[in-house]
Amino acid sequence: MKSMTGICPPLNPPTRILMGPGPSEIHPSVLAAMAAPTVGHLDPYFLKVMDEVQSMLRHVFQTSNMMTMAISGTGSAGMETCVVNLIEPGDRMIVCAAGVFGGRMADVAGRAGAEVTTLERPFGEVFTAQEIAEAVDRVKPKVVGIVHAETSTGAWQRLEEISKIVHDAGALLLVDCVTSLAGLPVDVDRLQIDAAYSGSQKCIGCPPGLAPVTVGPRALEAMDRRRTKVSSWYLDIGLLRNYWGNNRAYHHTAPINMNYALHQALRLVVEEGLEARYARHLLQHRALRAGLEAMGIQYSVKAEHALPMLNSVLIPAGVDDVLLRGQLLNEFGIEIGGGLGPMKGRTWRIGLMGETAKKSNVLLFLAALEQCLNRQGVRPTAGAGVAAANEIYLQG
């Protein structure tokens, strides 16, 4: 084995404006919280932090669910937590897939032993209540899984009618809220969502590494009726509820400082107020959309289905996707995302999540994009994007 010949230089990451699909920008107070002194994972101080994280997560999820917690892992760990706890081998599950993350949920369910029926729509589309009703009537599933905000396409799936259909059939509703939580109303109790998961790095505005999860009473009852052990020891809610519940029994060494960061990020969400936060995300989306359309750039999702925090737009003809995103990153420090799956090379994904959703970012991005487009021979009307966005801001 080769020996180290020198000491690696200290970390000195560049400052970026994170306008991609995640992570989003982090408030300095959240980063400072990560540098607070580490205590033990059963220290009374940390147990108090856990209690407060749970309380604030309940507020953001709009639920009274006692089993609301932060899974030690990224959003995909939240997905896996919900699926493996609700599914036993042979259980029937419908998964609605109109993007990468719906497809991922179907994959996870199959690995857990579910008999998966995958409903598919083209990327960027959403499901109608009627097609889900027909599938539920045909399959008679234990669980129906659906993505509220599809990060790969920028599509917003409404849930009101779907929730009633699922519950009238006696099934459980599992919802992916990774991109929507703290940027759009999720309203777990009002919508009777049985289990939902999210990620810390999107609209909550925390570094990636934790997955908020909430599980309602019907889902807990289904877990208590299991005939087999949960396939994952680490993600078994039957064990985790003893750590996040009143017993505080040792389960694993939680990422202490990540929970500090989540605590502070949630404090900022609560301080701003949910309605004000939703309105801020929507305003920035409206300004960005007006600016892009003034430059001749169209959205890849119908306006009524477009997410405010994840804007998926069609790349103009003749523009080199990778080259332009590289120009934005290297010359302006702006990160945006490319398309995934069949949308690769066809769309850009522009994030306005959490701390990123602010006027200065929208205006800088539109000005930088205009310059980059000009360099590739695509010449929108000079200043049109910024002017159109400013008009939205003037209207309020």
Structure confidence at residue 62 (pLDDT): 98
Average pLDDT on 346-358 reads 98
Q: In this structure, are residues 326 and 13 in contact, taking their beta carbons and an 8 Å threshold?
A: no
Q: In this structure, are residues 293 and 388 in contact, taking their beta carbons and an 8 Å threshold?
A: yes
Average pLDDT on 124-128 reads 97
- Single pTM value for the model: 0.96
Structure confidence at residue 121 (pLDDT): 96
Q: In this structure, are residues 195 and 82 in contact, taking their beta carbons and an 8 Å threshold?
A: yes
Retrieve residue 41's tokens.
């994972």
- Give CA separation, 184 vs 122, 177, 280, in Å: 23, 9, 10
Tens of pLDDT along 261-270? 999 999 999 9
Q: Using alpha carbons only, give the angle 22, 210, 305 rounded to the nearest 5 degrees.
A: 45
Structure confidence at residue 310 (pLDDT): 98
Structure confidence at residue 248 (pLDDT): 84
Structure confidence at residue 378 (pLDDT): 95
Average pLDDT on 70-92 reads 98
Structure confidence at residue 4 (pLDDT): 64
Structure confidence at residue 249 (pLDDT): 85
- The alpha helices in 62-155, defined as continuous H runs, are 75-86, 100-111, 129-139
Structure confidence at residue 250 (pLDDT): 86
The mean-pLDDT minimum among 92-106, 201-215, 245-259, 321-335 falls in 245-259
Instruction: Tell me the helices (H) and strands (E) count for the chain, helix number first.
Output: 14, 14
User: What percent of the chain shows pLDDT beyond 70?
Assistant: 99
Q: Tell the burial category of 322 from Cβ atoms under 10 Å away from its Cβ (0-12, 13-18, 19+).
A: exposed
Q: Tell the burial category of 298 from Cβ atoms under 10 Å away from its Cβ (0-12, 13-18, 19+).
A: exposed
Structure confidence at residue 138 (pLDDT): 98
Average pLDDT on 244-249 reads 84
Instruction: Give me the domains of the chain, ranges plus CATH numbers.
Output: 28-271 (3.40.640.10), 274-395 (3.90.1150.10)
At 2, is the pLDDT very low, low, confident or very high (cuts 50, 70, 90)?
low
Structure confidence at residue 1 (pLDDT): 54
Dihedrals φ, ψ of 285, to 5°?
Answer: -65, -45
Q: Using alpha carbons only, give the angle 144, 119, 234 rounded to the nearest 5 degrees.
A: 45
- The alpha helices in 112-201, defined as continuous H runs, are 129-139, 160-168, 188-191
Tens of pLDDT along 182-209? 999 999 999 999 999 999 999 999 999 9
Report the alpha-carbon distance of residue 240 to residue 235 in Å, rounded: 7
